[in-house]
Structure 1
Amino acid sequence: MFSGAQISLYPMSDDFVDIILNAIKALDPYRDSFRIETDDLSTLLVGPPEQLFPAMRDLFVAAAASGRHCVLSATVSRGCPGEPDDPICTPAERPEVPAPLEERVALAVRTAAQAADTGQEIAVQFSFYPLGRGHHMDEIYGCIDFLKSSGVFERSKNFCTKLRGDAGQVFATLEQAFLRFGSPEGHVALDLTVSANSPTPR
């Protein structure tokens, strides 16, 4: 299955151009796997879902290494019916029936815990939208159970969930939320905001 994201990077610095251009170089190792397009609003990544969050992680960690307050905003999608990339975004074969929800929660916790540290602490707030047929509220509650056991859960907020921790584990947690929950035949979307080096006290 293929997936995609529209991402925008905002360094709070006078030298934001250099920070953005240097950070985009972190996507070079992924260019063989992704279609990558950058314009004046965002960078589009279209490609395999298991590489999508590592690519965003590397981009953001490269920007945050400047020490400046940096924010990344992204809309992430899998399934994407009706999009211009529909032929490469839709699985060619009918996906397998997913494992029971409890098993997926446990597997997501184990997988995210194996993520390597990057040395960069980040905060994230995101919203999870499993669309299509099926018991979408069960999937949402299962995802919330996973997040609360992930080790990076900070708190629930209105309309979203807040995570905090090393970028490696936080992006791995987002990846597991994206891959393990929601109907495999449906459209799943995440709306997320990532921040590092914020001057705002916790």
Structure 2
Amino acid sequence: MFSGAQVSLYPMSDDFVGIIFGAIGALDPWRDHLRIQTDSLSTLIVGSPEFVFPAMRDLFCAAAYSGVHTTMHATVSRGCPGEPDDPICSPVSSPRREMALADRVAAYREIVAAAPQLEQDIAAQFSLYPLGVGHHMDEIYGCIEFLKSSGTFDRSKNFCTALRGDAGPVFETLGQAFTGFGSEAGHLAMDVTVSANSPSVR
């Protein structure tokens, strides 16, 4: 299975170059677990989702800690039939996948509750797309149930779900939504936008 993310970071600052390069340095501790390539458009992060989401979290927080309005957009995918298997991408496997949907929701909620607090408030919105699954709506409804009880749920929006809270639990919610729903062996994609230090009134 192939899994990873294309990530683009946007600090709203005259010093955007320094902030971006400094934030990319936050990926260094993850390089033993991930294949990371940066170009002029985005940073490709390839590996197990269990490492991809914490790496994205650290990248974003490193920029957001500057205090400037910062956004990040990521397209995350696993199991794409157009991509070859990569040894660095272990299949998403968890004994919880054998549990009933309601039990999985409860288990993922406990994982989010135990996530570290990183002292950075963020907002996020995302859409999840389980592809090629016969009963994909059951998985989507299960994911929505999980999100509403996750402690990071903000509101439902057209075409997406909004989250808000500390970066630790929010990124853990995104990771559990990505790995916990949809076919274990099927293609699944997520579109996510994250924001911190926005001047907009909530």
Check whether TM > 0.5. yes
Runs of 5+ unmatched residues, structure 2: none
Distance in 2 (CA, whole Å) between partners of 1:64 and 1:93 is 29
Same amino acid, percent of matched pairs: 66
Distance in 2 (CA, whole Å) between partners of 1:138 and 1:25 is 40
Runs of 5+ unmatched residues, structure 1: none
Write the mapping of 1:53-202 to structure 2, written as runs, cut at 5 A. Answer: 53-83=53-83, 85-88=84-87, 98-202=98-202
Structure-1 residue corresponding to 2:50: 50
CA shift digits 1:31-75 (9 cap, x unpaired): 111110000000000011111111000000000011000000000
Distance in 1 (CA, whole Å) between partners of 2:94 and 2:48 is 15
Structure-1 residue corresponding to 2:19: 19
Distance in 2 (CA, whole Å) between partners of 1:38 and 1:90 is 19
SS in 2 for 1:76: strand
Distance in 2 (CA, whole Å) between partners of 1:188 and 1:89 is 18
Contact in 2 for aligned 1:2/1:49 (Cα 8 Å): no
Question: Residue type of the partner of 2:7?
Answer: I
Cα distance, 1:82 vs structure 2: 1.2
What's the TM-score, normalizing by structure 2?
Answer: 0.94
What's the TM-score, normalizing by structure 1?
Answer: 0.94
Distance in 1 (CA, whole Å) between partners of 2:144 and 2:92 is 29
Question: Residue type of the partner of 1:86?
Answer: D
Question: Residue type of the partner of 1:81?
Answer: P
RMSD of aligned alpha carbons: 1.9
SS in 1 for 2:98: coil
